[in-house]
Amino acid sequence: MQPVSAIGFDLFNTLVTVERHGLDEALIRLTRSLRTGGVPVAPDAFKAAHRKAALRFIEEARKDGKETHNRFWISAALRDLGYDIPPDDPRIAAAIDAYFSAFLDLCRPIPGTAEMLTALGDRYRIGLLSNFTHGPAARRIIERVGLGSYFPVMVISGEFGFRKPHPAVFRELVRRMGVPAEEMLYVGDDPDSDIAGAYGAGIRPVWSRYVRDRKIPFAPGIGSEQGDRPGRDVPAISKWDDLLSLLRTVPHPSR
């Protein structure tokens, strides 16, 4: 069996969850910011237009692997409602900050995550790879939930330019980790982005079912609907003790 010297982790639904009302609260704050900036959108109409635009841009990103950004969603939604405001308008930048402030307030680490990362940190190289459109918000969330110090390597799709499952973003994680791909595990919850994506880059995936098994809503929300299960035999975990038990069956290069 190939030894493991490094472990990569997904962020949302793997290390972190969001309170059930998180997406609704984020959209309320976004709409309030636009209205404060002189764009008198109706909340319900904007919510529908924003979801339509977000799903369209996310679907395009899935096809070519290139990451999208919330500013384009907001600008497109406003255009549908009769407001010609470009993506780089300062009012949209302010609305994005307001939107992500909700996730800063409502994200929670999965119980035992810090303890698990501490247990692994002395033995394995640890890294994070997240599909997150707005890199600054992702990094603030990671710090806010107390996990920043555990990840010397963090690859955020919104900063790198490609998103999972594109192999380029996994190869970037491997490059920064400084280990062969075949010596890495990647822990994630999404059968397509995480499991198939890791396989495509030559990394062994581990399927995290914590959120699924407890019927916790997928976060952040828009575009996070997932398939039922990976299309191949993949080790699955439902709690961190399962991961620790799995690792005890896998050799380490130092042995």
pLDDT tens digits for range 4-23: 999 999 999 999 999 988 99
Q: What is the predicted pLDDT for the residue at 224?
A: 52
Entry pTM: 0.93
pLDDT at 225 over 80: no
Q: Which domain holds residue 41?
A: 22-105
Q: Are residues 76 and 187 in the same domain?
A: no
Compute the distance between CA of residue 124 and CA of residue 122 in angstroms, rounded to an integer.
6
Q: Are residues 86 and 130 in the same domain?
A: no
Answer yes or no: is 254 within a domain: no
Last residue within a domain, chosen from 81, 105, 129: 105
How deeply is 176 buried, as exposed, middle or buried, from its count of CB atoms within 10 A (0-12, 13-18, 19+)?
Answer: middle
Last residue within a domain, chosen from 105, 128, 148: 105
Q: What is the predicted pLDDT for the residue at 26?
A: 95
Compute the distance between CA of residue 70 and CA of residue 95 in angstroms, rounded to an integer.
10
- Residue 18, beta-bridge partner list: 107
pLDDT at 36 over 70: yes
- Which alpha helices (DSSP H) does 2-89 contain, by range? 22-36, 43-64, 70-80
Q: Are residues 185 and 214 in the same domain?
A: yes
Structure tokens at 233: 């035999």
Q: Are residues 117 and 170 in the same domain?
A: yes
pLDDT at 182 over 80: yes
Answer yes or no: is 80 within a domain: yes
pLDDT at 229 over 60: yes
pLDDT at 219 over 80: no
Q: Are residues 135 and 69 in the same domain?
A: no
Answer yes or no: is 128 within a domain: yes
Q: Are residues 113 and 222 in the same domain?
A: yes
Last residue within a domain, chosen from 54, 85, 105: 105
Q: Are residues 39 and 121 in the same domain?
A: no
Q: What is the predicted pLDDT for the residue at 253?
A: 81
> For the domain that residue 115 is a member of, what is the CATH number?
3.40.50.1000
Number of domains in the chain: 2
Are the C-beta atoms of 203 and 170 separated by less than 8 Å? yes
Confidence of residue 231 (pLDDT cuts 50, 70, 90): low
Q: Are residues 90 and 138 in the same domain?
A: no
Answer yes or no: is 117 within a domain: yes
Q: Are residues 66 and 141 in the same domain?
A: no
Answer yes or no: is 1 within a domain: no
Q: Are residues 130 and 229 in the same domain?
A: yes
pLDDT at 230 over 90: no
Q: Are residues 12 and 129 in the same domain?
A: yes
Q: Are residues 51 and 171 in the same domain?
A: no
Answer yes or no: is 252 within a domain: no
* Residue in the block written with tokens 């255009």: 79
Q: Are strands 16-18 and 107-109 parallel, antiparallel or unpaired?
A: antiparallel
Average model confidence (pLDDT) across the chain = 93
